[in-house]
Chains A and B, each alone.
Chain A
Amino acid sequence: MITDEVRRVLLTAIDLYPQASEVLRRQLVRLDEPLRVAIAGKVKAGKSTLLNALVGEEIAPTDAGECTKVVTWYRDGPSPRIVQFPQGKSLPVVRRDGALEIALDGPADRLVVDWPSQSLRSTTLIDTPGIASLTTANSLRTTHFLSPEDSPSEADAVIYLMRHLHSADANFLESFRDQGVARATAINTVAVISRADEIGGGRVDAMISARGIAGRYRADSSLQGLCQNVVAVAGLLAFAGRSLRQNDFMALTALAALPREELESSLLSADRFVDGSVERRALLNRFGVFGIRLAVTLIRQGVTEPSALAAELVARSGLLELQKVLHTQFGERRHLLKARSALLALDGVLRAAGDSRLTGAVERILAGTHEFTELRLLSALRSGAVKVPDAELASRLLGDEGAHPLVRLGLPRGSGPGEVGQAAFAALQRWQRHAENPMLTRRSADACRVLVRTCEGLLTREGARPPR
């Protein structure tokens, strides 16, 4: 298992380099911790809102103005607790209307929030201040956190939020793209088109447009080398759906009962809708113009249960899609990503020491672990550095859409070992043929050999027999 190998190397390294033992020990502990996923993006991209939606509770404070000023870690814990660093001081846990309120006590460089939550069990989420902020210090804090100049990144993976692709976004993604040992690029980044509901001016079909734009970005070659996938998510709607309360539902039902013209006229603008009413204002803040339009439409179409409405809102917000992508890109590769972070850190120590005793061991893990080779090839394919015939099949086979053999082979769910064997064997033959094709360049042929190896792995791992 790769984690064990990495652990062994780390332990050896601790003995060899006592001066760096603290850094290395931290990496050791980190190997057993949940995956660290940072949420980054420009100011007001909706990072905290998305974090709340992913967790399902309002634990990251949100506001109309620039809000997140300190890098904040949200991790699973037995009881709610907030600790402010560098002082290591505990802060009082205050909740108002379900929202967590954090009042900083003096200058802070990071906050750690322990929160008992199912969603945080396998991943620790890290909220970061926006880049391109008017307060340069906040921006710098994020840039430093995600791509520190001198030490490997604290995060294992990044969800990058953007409203539209700006050059500032591309720069940032580039700086996060690592130059270190794993040489794998873009494998640990997922881009999200956030606030997707606002794209079409809050029309009911806004999400369709947003998905179209996400599709275009996915095909954009400049982004392909920078991130794994692009998903459109309406964070506010997702959170509203996940935390839908009975009284919200009642209010929405009442709205749906209004005459169509009256409602349409009042939904022309936020001001018209609120019209001095406190309840309506609260509703608007929770759902947004798009959320209200969508919810009312759904209720009119016959959704009668709060749970059904909540499910429908979450489904339409694109959150499920994001969760699925996070699962396949990050969750299934958890060990790999963590091992990679640890190796990056170790590599830094080795370089600093100018010592080559362990270089061989690190190199062996990197070159000898087929998963790393797969990731490298995957990112090379994405960035266009390597070209193979049937590129789409190749990406899927390498685990672009999920690590499960059925997904890799493009088989329907529930296929038996016989079918898996058959498909894997067919794939094996295909790639062997390509690998021997004299028309291909050497790099492409090498890539085909990696794919052959993957097919062989699938055949042996599943105990599937090739057809006689």
Chain B
Amino acid sequence: MATSPQRAIELALAAIKRYERPDLEQRLHQARARLADDQVRLLVVGEFKQGKSMLVNGLVGAPVCPVSDDVATAVPTVVRHAETPVVTLVRAEGRTEVPLEELPRFAAEEGNPGNRERLLHVEVGLPRPLLAEGLVLVDTPGVGGLSSVHGAATMAALPSADAVLLVSDCSQEYTAPELEFLKQAMAVCPNVACVLTKTDLYPEWRSIADRDRQHLADAGIKAEVFTVSSTLRWHALQTGDQEVNTESGYPPLVTYLRKKVVAQADLLARRSTLHDVLTVIGQVVDSLRAEQTAQENPESVQQLIRELTEAEQRAAGLKERSARWQQTLSDGVADLNADVDYDLRDRMREIVREAEDALLAGDPQKIWDQFSVWAQQAVTSAVSANSVWATQRARWLAKKVAEHFDSDREQMLPALRVGTSDPLRSVPELAVRESDKFGIGSRLLTGLRGGYGGLLMFGLIGSVIGLTLINPISVGAALLLGGKGIVDERKRITTKRQNDCKVALRKYVDDVSFHAGKDSRDMLRGLQRDLRDHFTTLAEQLKRSLTESIQAAQKSVKASHGDRDARLAEIKTELAALERVVKQVTA
């Protein structure tokens, strides 16, 4: 049995207590806090009426998500672990707890049509073993055609998810939008699995599953496919019938979630904790070793001190703004800012071009309703694609900087370093900034709503202008007058409308670009700040360790022979104790 990450931290904390290094202890405390907060977010997505909510209910064995024959889920429901069942409503203004039985009133379309309550999401806490392992299930509202506004919000939530379950029922094979969505999801999320639901209802589910696997293979998507029946699972939960439970297809899915999704995240957590523990102990050991060397060979102390001082200066240099990693970071962020901005502008230009062609093709008044919806959708999906892409690039940059930093450190401590290091492990979880969890999508939407309201108003003006044109009286007048005059007039008005619409469209796209640009710049600035803080702290710890080593070495010069022997023996036992801890932790 391997030592749990929590236990490893305890051991390390106990071991370094006597060296009075609050900075290192702080680092371990942070690691512990991160572990406690460690969650695996599982996003359940799909078109509506595919059985997403039933799937979540089946997984946790409680009716937490509203289920109905009609469109049911109004807002995302987040199901996480809690000692006692609890329901929390999360609004932009804050959180309120409500009694359990009031859940449907807020989460269901029936009680909260079109999200009248303006909730960001609903949180449900449940005492369940699966959830206690850190799994958080997110039930999303159904997506009608994955390019709709809802769909864009789902896309924006993707990068923050640890795993995605794409739910679709066995009544038919994958449709084009679903496969498209899968491809995008694969690009930003490490774990994507497909769940085919309602096997109880469709006798042909096996052949559908085979076809879907074929479609996935054709599209080059490597994702596991699970076939489940929530009805059977529910029946099994109520009657305790194990046989039915096996038939429901849930056990393999639960195993997958446990063994693959949770365990993988766990492994990641374990690795990064271990990395922290080993580095912390390593720094203490380094100091002790330096002292040991100095005590053993007093003649070479000066040499050692020189080396250490140089190393310390290099470590101090790391904190400077001129350090290489700092440059990589600031250059990278500047580049990224420019690229993201360009990408957004490019996408928007494409939309404007296409839209203007459509507007010029005819009288904009006739198509305005559909047109404004289309424009809104196109702009939304462009913005979300842009933000997904920006997140991907930002992660890449973070890795780049970490590599830099690590190689700097390797150079700096040639003789004394023990153990290997993996630069990727020290990258903090940057992409999942708490405020962004549902932020990008919903903030974007409110931005759009504002813009859209303006458009609607404009559309109304348009219809007022057009009023005299289409009523039958004027058609009759046209016939009487021979048609010529009215045709010219109609043309003039159409051109005017086309121009008005173009102006409205450009203004709208401008507004959205402005807000989206601000969002992405904020995101990048946050990233830069996080990375800088993280690595500066590391540099500081390193410098402090080296300073301690130097002090120890200098002390040894002054020490008497007897003291030296005693100190050597002490160091030996201390080193042995630390090594024991390392062994225990890595076992």
Contact = CB atoms under 8 A, between A and B. Distances in A.
A359 B482 CA distance: 11
B200 interface: yes
B151 to A, nearest CB: 9
A271 B201 contact: no
Contact of B175 (A134, A356, A443): A134
Contacts of A200: 69
A269 B173 contact: no
Interface string A61-95: 00011100000000000000000000000000000
B471 A198 contact: no
Given A66-B173, A133-B176, A209 B144 contact: no
A213 interface: yes
Contacts of B148: 167
Nearest to B370: A174
B204 A64 contact: yes
A195 B247 CA distance: 25
Contacts of A136: 176
Contact of A166 (B145, B172, B174, B200): B145
A269 B199 contact: yes
B476 interface: yes
Contact of B205 (A134, A198, A270, A272): A270
Contacts of B176: 132-134, 136, 139
A94 to B, nearest CB: 23
A446 interface: yes
Interface in B220-273: 229, 231-232, 235, 244, 247
Contacts of B199: 269-271
A332 to B, nearest CB: 24
A43 B174 CA distance: 10
A130 to B, nearest CB: 9
Contact of B483 (A202, A356, A442, A446): A356
Contacts of A268: 200, 231-232, 235, 244
B147 interface: yes
Contacts of B49: 163-164, 199
Contacts of A166: 47, 144-145
A167 B232 contact: no
B211 interface: yes
Contact of A168 (B174, B177, B198, B473): B177
B149 to A, nearest CB: 9
B207 interface: yes
B317 interface: no
Interface in A107-132: 132
A195 B173 contact: no
A281 B175 contact: no
Contacts of B458: none
Contacts of A285: 203
Interface string A273-294: 0100000010011000100000
Question: How big is the B interface, by class?
Answer: 35 or more
Interface in A326-374: 356, 359-360, 363-364, 367, 373
Contacts of A198: 171, 198, 201
Question: Which residue among A373, A376, A443 has the maximum number of chain B CB atoms within 10 Å of its CB?
Answer: A443
Nearest to B205: A270
B472 A442 contact: no
Nearest to B229: A269
Contacts of B147: 167
B69 A64 contact: no
B471 A65 contact: no
Question: How big is the A interface, by class?
Answer: 35 or more
Contacts of A44: 171-173
A270 B47 CA distance: 23
B467 interface: yes
Nearest to A270: B203
A443 B471 contact: yes
A216 B68 CA distance: 14
A42 B471 contact: no
B202 interface: yes
B201 A64 contact: no
Contacts of A134: 173-176, 179, 215
A464 interface: no
Interface in A373-415: 373, 376
B479 interface: yes
Nearest to B236: A268
Nearest to B147: A167
A136 B208 CA distance: 19
A163 B473 CA distance: 42
A446 B173 contact: no
A206 B198 CA distance: 15
Contact of B201 (A43, A274, A281, A289): A289
B366 interface: yes
B201 A202 contact: yes
A174 B377 CA distance: 16
A313 to B, nearest CB: 18
Interface string A144-164: 000000000000000000011
A340 B121 CA distance: 50
B378 to A, nearest CB: 12
A24 interface: no
B70 A216 contact: yes
A201 B479 contact: no
A269 B231 contact: yes
A446 B472 contact: yes
A64 B177 contact: no
Interface string B458-480: 00000000010001110110010
Interface in B192-219: 198-205, 207-208, 211, 215
A212 interface: yes
B576 to A, nearest CB: 63
Interface string B32-71: 0000000000000001110000000000000000000111
A179 interface: yes
A210 interface: yes
A165 interface: yes
A289 B479 contact: no
A201 B53 CA distance: 14
A210 B69 contact: yes
Given A268-B232, A284-B203, A65 B145 contact: no
A274 B203 contact: yes
B349 to A, nearest CB: 24
B179 A289 contact: no
Interface string B345-377: 000000000000000001000100010000001
Nearest to A446: B471
Contact of B200 (A42, A195, A269): A269
B471 A167 contact: no
A363 B147 CA distance: 41
B177 A65 contact: no
B203 A201 contact: no
A366 to B, nearest CB: 9
Interface string A433-450: 000000000110010000
A416 B73 CA distance: 52
Interface of B: 47-49, 69-71, 144-145, 147-148, 171-177, 179, 198-205, 207-208, 211, 215, 229, 231-232, 235, 244, 247, 362, 366, 370, 377, 467, 471-473, 475-476, 479, 483
Given A134-B173, A367-B475, 13 more contacts: A64-B208, A65-B211, A164-B49, A164-B144, A167-B144, A167-B145, A202-B200, A209-B69, A270-B202, A271-B200, A272-B247, A442-B471, A446-B471
5 contacts: A134-B174, A136-B176, A164-B49, A201-B201, A443-B471
The 4 closest A-B pairs by CB, nearest first: A269-B200, A44-B172, A64-B204, A167-B145
